[in-house]
Amino acid sequence: MATKQKPSSESYATPQNGNTLKSRLSQRFTPRRFTPYGRTPQSRRITTVLSTTQGKRKTVRAKSKTQSESVAESEEFKGFINKTWRVFKLSPLYKFSSSPKDLKRYGQLLSSCFVAASQKGMFVENNISGKAMFCVQEGLKKSEYDPDAVQILIKGKRTTGTTDTALLTATLCGVEMEEEQLSPDVKDHFMYYPVLLVKSTVALTDVLITWLQMHFDCKVTPMIFPPVHLAWMIGMWSGALANTNRKKKPVELVYQVPSECEGIKKVTYTIEAEDCLKVWNSIHDHRSDMFTEEEMTTFLSCLEEHFYSLFRIKLNAMQLSCVGTSLCYIGREGLLKIYSEEHVISILRHLTELSVEHFNLV
Amino acid sequence: MPTLDKDKGIADAVEYFVKEEKMKRRGNVQLSEALETLERVSKSLGISADNIIALCEVAASGRHGDDISCKLIRCLIPAKEFPDRAVMVSISYICSNIPSSKIQAMLLRLLIAVYDYIDKKETLQKLGYLLFCFIENSILTPYICHLLYLLTRKEDVRLFRVRKLLDLQTKLGPQSYLIGLLSIYKLYFPNLVSIVIPSTKKHFFPTRDRQWCSIIREVQEGNQNIETSHLKLSLELSEKLRAAETTMLQGIPPAKRRKMEPIPVVHSSRSNLTVKMSSRLIAMLEEKPIPFVQIPDIDTLLRNPDKVELPSQMGAALRSPLLQCFMSYSADPLMTCRFSYWLQDTLCDELLDSTVTPSCFPRIESILEKLIQFTEFIQEGIPAVDQILFRYLQVWNGMDFRQHMFRLITRCRLYPFSLLNENVLDPLRKLYVRTSVFIKCQITMCLTQLLRNYVVVEIHRYNQKYPDSKPSVSIFEDDIGPFEPLSTVQGLIQFVDRLNCAGLTLENNHNLLLHFTLTFSEMVSTLYTRYDLPCVYLPSRHIIRAFLTDNAMGPARLCGIINRYKENCQKLKNDLKGTESEAVRLRLKETVHSLNIVIMDLCDTLWRRKAFTHGRTDSYFNFDSTLLDGGSNDGLSLYLHQAFLPFSLLFLKETQPKEHIGHPRGIQEVRDTFMEFLQRENISEVKEFITNTITRYRLSTTTVT
Say whether pLDDT at B237 is over 80: no
Q: Give the pLDDT confidence score for residue B263 in this predicted structure.
A: 81
In this structure, are residues B534 and B572 in contact, taking their beta carbons and an 8 Å threshold? Answer: yes
CA–CA distances in Å: residue A91 to residues A343, B177, B342, B564: 26, 42, 7, 50
Q: Give the pLDDT confidence score for residue A40 in this predicted structure.
A: 58
Which of A283-292, B118-127, B480-489, B622-631 bottoms out in mean pLDDT, i.e. has the lowest? Answer: B622-631
Q: Is A9 on the interface with B (CB under 8 A)?
A: yes
Report how far residue B104's alpha carbon sits from residue B101's, in angstroms, rounded to the nearest whole number: 5
Q: B119-133, B299-313, B435-449 — which one is most confidently predicted on average?
A: B435-449
Write the pLDDT tens digit of every residue in B587-633: 888 888 888 888 988 888 888 888 787 778 888 887 777 777 767 77
Q: Give the pLDDT confidence score for residue B368 in this predicted structure.
A: 94
The average pLDDT across B452-477 equals 81
In this structure, are residues B188 and B249 in contact, taking their beta carbons and an 8 Å threshold? Answer: yes
B60 residue type, one letter: A
In this structure, are residues B698 and B670 in contact, taking their beta carbons and an 8 Å threshold? Answer: no
In this structure, are residues B436 and B402 in contact, taking their beta carbons and an 8 Å threshold? Answer: no
The shortest C-alpha distance from B424 to chain A (Å) reads 12
Please write down the long-range contacts of B449-454, taking CB distance under 8 Å and 24 or more positions apart. Answer: B449/B410, B450/B409, B450/B410, B450/B412, B450/B492, B451/B489, B451/B492, B451/B493, B451/B496, B451/B520, B451/B523, B451/B524, B452/B410, B452/B523, B453/B381, B453/B410, B453/B411, B453/B412, B454/B414, B454/B488, B454/B489, B454/B492
Report how far residue A164's alpha carbon sits from residue B645's, in angstroms, rounded to the nearest whole number: 93
Q: A51-65, A241-255, B231-245, B266-280 — which one is most confidently predicted on average?
A: A241-255
Each residue of B185-206: b (16+ CB within 10 Å) or e? bbbbbbbbbeeebeeeeeebbe
Complex-level ipTM beyond the 0.85 threshold? no
Say whether pLDDT at A49 is over 50: no
Which of A108, A217, A333 is the best residue to mutate to test the B interface, defined by the most B CB atoms within 10 Å of its own CB?
Answer: A217
Q: Give the pLDDT confidence score for residue B67 in this predicted structure.
A: 83
Inter-chain CB proximity A37 and B388 less than 8 Å: no
Say whether pLDDT at B167 is over 70: yes
Q: Work out the mean pLDDT of chain A and round it to a whole number.
A: 77
Phi, psi of A130 (to 5 degrees): -160, 165
Contacts of A16 in chain B (CB under 8 A): 399
pLDDT band at B578 (very low <50, low <70, confident <90, very high): low
Q: Give the pLDDT confidence score for residue B236 in this predicted structure.
A: 61
Q: How many CB atoms lie within 10 A of CB B107?
A: 27
Report how far residue B515's alpha carbon sits from residue B497's, in angstroms, rounded to the nearest whole number: 14
pLDDT band at B472 (very low <50, low <70, confident <90, very high): low
Say whether pLDDT at B3 is over 60: no
B626 residue type, one letter: T
Q: Give the pLDDT confidence score for residue A124 in this predicted structure.
A: 58
Q: Which residue has the higher pLDDT, B579 or B418?
A: B418
Q: B459-463, B473-477, B478-482 — which one is most confidently predicted on average?
A: B459-463
Interface of A with B in 269-308 (CB under 8 A): none
Say whether pLDDT at B526 is over 50: yes
Report how far residue A84's alpha carbon sits from residue A140's, in angstroms, rounded to the nearest whole number: 19
Write the pLDDT tens digit of every residue in B178-189: 888 888 887 777
The distance from CA B63 to its chain's CA centroid, rounded to whole angstroms, is 53
Q: A79-88, A337-346, B46-55 — which one is most confidently predicted on average?
A: A79-88
DSSP-assigned letters across all residues of B387-455:
HHHHHHHHH--S-TTHHHHHHHHHTPPP--HHHHIIIIIHHHHHHHHTS-HHHHHHHHHHHHHHHHHII
Write the pLDDT tens digit of every residue in B493-508: 999 999 999 999 999 8
Q: Give the pLDDT confidence score for residue B703 in this predicted structure.
A: 45
Say whether pLDDT at A1 is over 50: no
Inter-chain CB proximity B345 and A15 less than 8 Å: no
Which of B189, B201, B345 is the best residue to mutate to test the A interface, defined by the most A CB atoms within 10 Å of its own CB?
Answer: B345
The shortest C-alpha distance from A269 to chain B (Å) reads 24
For A91, the closest of B342, B355, B436 (CB atoms) is: B342
Write the pLDDT tens digit of every residue in A75-113: 678 888 889 999 999 999 998 988 999 899 899 888 888
Q: Which residue has the higher pLDDT, A173 or B310?
A: A173
pTM given for the model: 0.69
Inter-chain CB proximity B257 and A202 less than 8 Å: yes
The distance from CA B434 to its chain's CA centroid, rounded to whole angstroms, is 32
Of A257, A298, A254, nearest in space to A279 by CA: A298
pLDDT band at B6 (very low <50, low <70, confident <90, very high): low
Preceding omega of B321 cis (within 30 degrees of 0): no
Q: Give the pLDDT confidence score for residue B384 in this predicted structure.
A: 92
CA–CA distances in Å: residue B172 to residues A235, B102, B184, B192, B208: 70, 21, 19, 20, 21
Q: A165-169, A340-344, B134-138, B423-427 — which one is most confidently predicted on average?
A: B423-427
In this structure, are residues B444 and B496 in contact, taking their beta carbons and an 8 Å threshold? Answer: yes
Inter-chain CB proximity A91 and B341 less than 8 Å: yes
Pairing of strands A319-324, A328-331: antiparallel
In this structure, are residues B361 and B260 in contact, taking their beta carbons and an 8 Å threshold? Answer: no
Which of A26-30, A51-55, B40-44 bottoms out in mean pLDDT, i.e. has the lowest? Answer: A51-55
| Helix, strand and coil in chain B, % to nearest 5 | 65, 0, 35
Report how far residue B447's alpha carbon sits from residue B410's, in angstroms, rounded to the nearest whole number: 7
